[in-house]
Amino acid sequence: MEYVYAAMLLHSLGKEINEESLKKVVAAAGVEPDEAQVKSVVSALKGVDIDKVISEAQAAPVAAQQAAAPKQGEEKKEEKKEAAVKPEETAAGLSSLFG
């Protein structure tokens, strides 16, 4: 995870994300850079528009929250259905059947 944070830091500073710069950032954080991890992160980020990925990631929770929230009309309909059948009314209806 440190490598992703280092890449994000480099990106936010407008620096190129390459093996050498990533190693320097990780080393500055007090961690011995792992060559395999550095190469993996750098190759995974090649050609990726980081700003676009960040904006999509920020929009995803909002879209999920909107999809999960009930619409106002649906909520009112559910309340009316619950209020329409009360236990007292059900008992009164049954007693009329049996006199």
pLDDT tens figures, 4-56: 999 999 999 999 999 999 999 999 999 999 999 999 999 999 999 999 998 88
Question: Is 79 in the same domain as 41?
Answer: no
C-alpha distances in angstroms, 17 versus 11, 12, 28?
7, 11, 15
DSSP letter at 69 equals S
Question: Is 40 in the same domain as 86?
Answer: no
Question: Is 54 in the same domain as 89?
Answer: no
Supply the pLDDT for residue 10.
97
* Total domains, the chain: 2
Q: Which amino acid is at 90?
A: T
Could you tell me which residue, 64 or 74, shows the higher pLDDT?
64
Range of the domain at 81: 72-97
The answer, yes or no, to whether residue 66 has pLDDT greater than 60, is: yes
Question: Is 84 in the same domain as 60?
Answer: no
